[in-house]
């Protein structure tokens, strides 16, 4: 069983193909992703480069986005509490800055929802599927 | 005169009741059909994870389109104007936390309760006990708010003004609700939520489009009329109508906004909904669906609130039985007569019923699954006895809800809910985020953040003007408050994050790396997450 995988970081670990146990360099991330009886080896998966990529992608999207919308929302809340002068300024007819600011929160929220859904579908789901495949392949190899 | 107004606005109690009874009959039939003959634990707690993302998304919004949103927020906007609007903004934005940080990861990690996730890589018994304590306290507060809404609604709709009569109706509502939970479990409760959320969305959309049409689709025209009809005048449309009096109330406003945005994704009965779908993708889809229906609903409720002021007038709303909470029903009566009032009140009743059923289920799951099966029986409970305990708990919780509903009355329900949200954000949010995303987080940290947030939140509420020492507080006649804010969020939420951090770094027992690896892999990929 050989598997195509992007070359892991050197040094290449001494991976024994038929040996189901963890290799001598667990941190190298190139040991079988399943134990001898086919159950997933979580530490190995966690150390694998594919998983690291998934985690990085997720965190790079989710954490900045959370910070962004929280700041944007808190700006709105702080202005509502302390920026009365600004918020009551009329923009058109009876509609003032405060009302528009609130409605803008509606728009940004739904935009982030849609953006994340598309991002997850395009960038996260395929990567998750890939990890599932690798684990499945190793489970089959382990049984042989 | 006041009596006349009251009698005039109740419409026809007989019609209100019959529309409601039709709703109850239909849902009971659905619940009965949905329930299998011998449900497993997974059926009872999580509907066998058999709902689609769309179904669960609508049910999820149903859980949140509670009496608090429908009656409380429309009332708050009608009477306090802009400051009421902040509630709806906060409650919409809050779903981003569920979407980005929690929903999918929770679905992959846990099975039935919040405790499943919190205790995943920690020492089981103390953490599960803590998680169950937090769930029970939060749920109780939330339930109190819902039942308080029921009291006001009954006064308004059925023209029942004696305390004894109201108590009787609340008892009736409580009994039907417990019946839903016992017979239908999660599946039945979810169907009730789906039916109710659809009705509520249709109702609010219809009313708001109709009214906007009346004003020639000019939001400005509607706002102008609302401002004319409110004692606040122009200030109705500006921030500060409710919380703008002084520096302390402004800080309270900020504290409230923080609780609103962080609390929703921490509510046990909302989190439990993520287990009713088969996988993380469907969990994500449910939040997307939920966000869209929230978006529609809260835009609609903005119109409903302001037009209640414009067409009914805030004086009349405040003088009606049920006070603020009666804005939406009064508006319905104003534009659609007795029939629309009947429909709107039946939907509002249904809302209370369905949400309280969801809360009861969350509380009973938490007690049976976390406390009974894992703490008392060390995880070796027979599943049949676990379900029996869950059902018994549902009866006890239902009983408490009835008592609570009879005792708590007259407070704005949106305000009561905000206290529950502050507690949820304090006890659950920090713990779950740390547990999912911070490698070093350990048992001590978990316990510190749950109890730190929960206890500080409770203590601050107990000694806040919400409980004593102000004209609107729950206990009248004595004043033992020393904490100046009604909402504890701004103190207790950061405090729980701090407690979790300190508990973790000061503990001598480091986190279990194997369990951490398992949890992280499982949370992100779903590998190892069996149904």
Residue A109 included in any domain: yes
Number of Cβ pairs closer than 8 Å across A and B? 156
- Do B511 and B440 form a contact (C-beta atoms < 8 A)? yes
Pairing of the two strands A90-92 and A95-96? antiparallel
Provide the pLDDT for residue B155: 67
Which portions of chain A are predicted below pLDDT 70?
1-30, 143-144
Residue B38 included in any domain: no
- Cβ atoms within 10 Å of B458's Cβ, excluding its own: 19
In percent, the amount of chain B with pLDDT more than 90 equals: 30
Contacts of B28 (CB under 8 A, 6+ apart): B176, B179, B180
Across chain B, mean pLDDT equals: 84
Q: Copy the structure tokens of residue B156.
A: 């308004």
Residue A5 included in any domain: no
**DSSP SS3 for B519:** helix
Q: Name residues 29-88 of chain A within 8 A of B (Cβ).
A: 40, 42-43, 45-46, 51, 54-55, 58-59, 62, 65-66, 69-70, 73-74, 76-84, 87-88
User: Which structural domain, as residue segments, surrounds residue B492?
Assistant: 2-27+66-525
With helix as H, strand as E and coil as C, how does B318-369 read? HHCCCHHHHHHHHHHHHHHHHHHHHHHHHHHHHHHHHHHHHHHHHHHHHHHH
Provide the pLDDT for residue B245: 72
Nearest to A94 among B237, B243, B528 (CB): B237
From A13's Cα to the closest Cα of chain B, the distance in A is 21
Residue B531 included in any domain: no
Provide the pLDDT for residue B425: 94
Interface touch A116/B100, C-beta < 8 Å: yes
Burial A56-79 (b: 16+ CB within 10 A, else e): eebeebbeebbeebbebbeebbeb
Residue A68 included in any domain: yes
Kindly indicate the confidence band of residue B491, based on its pLDDT and cuts at 50, 70 and 90. very high
Q: Hey, of A76, A80, A84, which one would you mutate to test binding to chain B, going by the most B CBs within 10 A of its CB?
A: A80
Provide the pLDDT for residue B428: 94
Residues of B in contact with A131 (CB under 8 A): 525, 527
What's the N-to-C CA distance of chain A in angstroms?
10
- For range B237-242, the mean pLDDT: 74
CATH number of the domain to which B521 belongs: 1.20.1730.10
Provide the pLDDT for residue B9: 47
In the beta sheet, which residues pair with residue A34?
Answer: A40
> By the CB < 8 Å criterion, does A111 face chain B?
no
Greater confidence (B219 vs B429) lies with B429
- For range B331-347, the mean pLDDT: 83
From CA A60, how far away is CA A57, in angstroms rounded? 5
Q: What's the Rg (C-alpha) of chain A?
A: 24
B259-303 pLDDT per residue, tens: 989 998 899 999 999 999 999 999 999 999 999 999 999 999 999
Residue with the two structure tokens 């929160």: A105
Nearest to A81 among B254, B298, B514 (CB): B254
DSSP per-residue codes, B244-268: -SSHHHHHHHHHHHHHHHHHGGG-H
From CA B176, how far away is CA B1, in angstroms rounded? 36
- Residue B505, pLDDT > 90, answer yes
- Residue B175, pLDDT > 70, answer yes
From A26's Cα to the closest Cα of chain B, the distance in A is 13
- For range B187-206, the mean pLDDT: 88
The count of structural domains within chain B is 1
From A128's Cα to the closest Cα of chain B, the distance in A is 6
Residue A3 included in any domain: no
From CA B82, how far away is CA A80, in angstroms rounded? 9
B69-87 pLDDT per residue, tens: 788 888 888 888 888 888 8
The one-character DSSP state at B410 is: S
Provide the pLDDT for residue B37: 63
Residue B57 included in any domain: no
Continuous H helices in B110-246:
114-118, 124-157, 163-214, 219-228
- Residue B5, pLDDT > 60, answer no
Listed residue (B85, B90, B79, B78) closest to B255, CA to CA: B90
Region of poorest pLDDT, from B11-15, B169-173, B183-187? B11-15
User: Which structural domain, as residue segments, surrounds residue A137?
Assistant: 36-143
Provide the pLDDT for residue A89: 83
- Residue B363, pLDDT > 80, answer yes
Supply the angle between the helices B327-365 and B53-64 in degrees, to the nearest 10: 120
From CA B82, how far away is CA B76, in angstroms rounded? 9
Interface touch B527/A131, C-beta < 8 Å: yes
Residue A24 included in any domain: no
The count of structural domains within chain A is 1
Residue B419 included in any domain: yes
- Residue B495, pLDDT > 90, answer yes
Nearest C-alpha in A relative to B280: A125
Listed residue (A53, A50, A69) closest to A115, CA to CA: A69
- For range B27-41, the mean pLDDT: 75
Supply the angle between the helices B124-157 and B327-365 in degrees, to the nearest 10: 150
Provide the pLDDT for residue A94: 80
Provide the pLDDT for residue B298: 92
- For range B113-141, the mean pLDDT: 91
From CA B194, how far away is CA B218, in angstroms rounded? 32
Residue A28 included in any domain: no
Nearest to B89 among A46, A84, A105 (CB): A105
- Residue B7, pLDDT > 70, answer no
ipTM: 0.88
Residues of A in contact with B522 (CB under 8 A): 42
Greater confidence (B471 vs B328) lies with B328
Q: Hey, of A34, A42, A57, which one would you mutate to test binding to chain B, going by the most B CBs within 10 A of its CB?
A: A42
Kindly indicate the confidence band of residue B336, based on its pLDDT and cuts at 50, 70 and 90. confident
B41-56 pLDDT per residue, tens: 788 888 878 899 899 9
Residue A46 included in any domain: yes
Nearest to B517 among A43, A70, A117 (CB): A43
Residue B153 included in any domain: yes
- Do B364 and B155 form a contact (C-beta atoms < 8 A)? no
Interface touch B92/A113, C-beta < 8 Å: no
Interface touch B238/A98, C-beta < 8 Å: yes
- Cβ atoms within 10 Å of B369's Cβ, excluding its own: 25
Greater confidence (A11 vs B230) lies with B230
From CA B316, how far away is CA A120, in angstroms rounded? 49
Largest CA distance in chain B: 72
Residue B364 included in any domain: yes
- For range B186-196, the mean pLDDT: 87
């Amino acid at each position: 069983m050989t598997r195509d995988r992007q070359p892991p970081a050197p040094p290449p670990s001494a991976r024994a193909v038929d040996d189901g146990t963890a290799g001598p360099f667990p941190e190298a991330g190139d040991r079988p992703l399943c134990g001898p009886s086919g159950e997933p080896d979580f530490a190995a998966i966690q150390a694998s480069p594919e998983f690291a990529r998934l985690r990085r992608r997720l965190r790079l999207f989710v954490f900045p986005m959370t910070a962004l919308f929280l700041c944007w929302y808190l700006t709105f809340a702080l202005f509502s509490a302390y920026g009365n002068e600004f918020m009551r300024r009329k923009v058109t007819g009876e509609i003032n800055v405060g009302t528009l600011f609130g409605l803008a929160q509606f728009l940004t929220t739904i935009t982030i929802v849609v953006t994340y859904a598309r991002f997850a579908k395009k960038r996260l789901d395929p990567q998750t599927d890939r990890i599932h495949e690798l684990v499945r392949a190793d489970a089959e190899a382990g049984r042989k | 005169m006041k009596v006349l107004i009251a009698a005039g606005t109740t419409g026809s109690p007989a019609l209100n009741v019959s529309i409601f009874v039709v709703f109850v009959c239909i849902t009971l039939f659905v619940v009965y059909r949905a329930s299998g003959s011998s449900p497993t634990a997974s059926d009872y707690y999580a509907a066998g994870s058999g709902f689609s993302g769309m179904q669960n998304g609508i049910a999820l919004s149903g859980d949140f389109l509670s009496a608090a949103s429908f009656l409380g927020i429309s009332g708050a906007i009608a009477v306090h104007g802009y400051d009421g609007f902040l509630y709806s903004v906060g409650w919409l934005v809050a779903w981003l936390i569920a979407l980005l940080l929690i929903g999918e990861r929770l679905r992959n990690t846990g099975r039935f309760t919040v405790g499943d996730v919190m205790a995943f890589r920690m020492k089981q018994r103390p953490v599960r006990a803590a998680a169950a304590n937090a769930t029970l306290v939060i749920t109780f507060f939330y339930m109190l708010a819902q039942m308080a809404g029921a009291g006001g609604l009954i006064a308004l709709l059925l023209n029942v003004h004696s305390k004894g009569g109201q108590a009787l109706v609340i008892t009736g509502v409580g009994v039907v609700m417990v019946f839903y939970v016992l017979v239908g479990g999660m599946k039945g409760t979810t169907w009730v939520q789906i039916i109710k959320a659809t009705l509520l969305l249709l109702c609010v959309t219809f009313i708001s489009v109709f009214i906007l049409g009346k004003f020639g689709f000019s939001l400005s025209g509607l706002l102008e009329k609302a401002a004319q009809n409110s004692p606040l005048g122009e200030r109705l449309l500006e921030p500060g109508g409710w919380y703008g009096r002084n520096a302390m109330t402004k800080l309270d406003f900020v504290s409230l906004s923080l609780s609103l945005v962080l609390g929703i994704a921490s509510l046990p009965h909302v989190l439990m909904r993520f287990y009713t779908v088969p996988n993380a993708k469907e969990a994500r889809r449910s939040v997307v669906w939920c966000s869209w229906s929230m978006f529609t609903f809260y835009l609609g409720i903005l119109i409903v609130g302001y037009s209640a002021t414009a067409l009914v007038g805030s004086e009349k709303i405040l003088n009606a039985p049920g006070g603020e909470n009666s804005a939406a029903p009064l508006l319905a009566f104003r534009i659609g007569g007795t029939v629309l009032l009947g429909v709107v009140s039946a939907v509002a009743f249904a809302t209370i019923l369905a949400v309280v059923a969801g809360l009861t289920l969350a509380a009973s799951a938490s007690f049976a699954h976390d406390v009974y099966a894992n703490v008392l029986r060390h995880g070796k409970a027979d599943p049949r006895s676990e379900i029996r305990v869950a059902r018994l708990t549902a009866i006890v919780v239902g009983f408490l809800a009835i008592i609570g509903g009879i005792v708590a009355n007259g407070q704005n329900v949106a305000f009561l809910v905000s206290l529950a949200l502050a507690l949820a954000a304090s006890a659950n949010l920090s713990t779950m985020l740390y547990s999912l995303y911070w490698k070093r987080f350990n048992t001590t940290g978990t316990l510190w953040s749950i109890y730190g947030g929960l206890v500080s939140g409770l203590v601050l509420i107990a000694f806040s003007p919400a409980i004593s020492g102000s004209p609107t507080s729950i206990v009248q006649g004595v004043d033992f408050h020393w904490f100046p804010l009604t909402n504890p969020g701004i103190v207790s939420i950061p405090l729980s994050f701090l407690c979790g951090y300190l508990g973790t770094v000061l503990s001598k027992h480091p986190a279990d790396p194997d369990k951490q690896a398992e949890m992280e892999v499982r949370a992100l990929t779903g590998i190892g997450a069996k149904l």
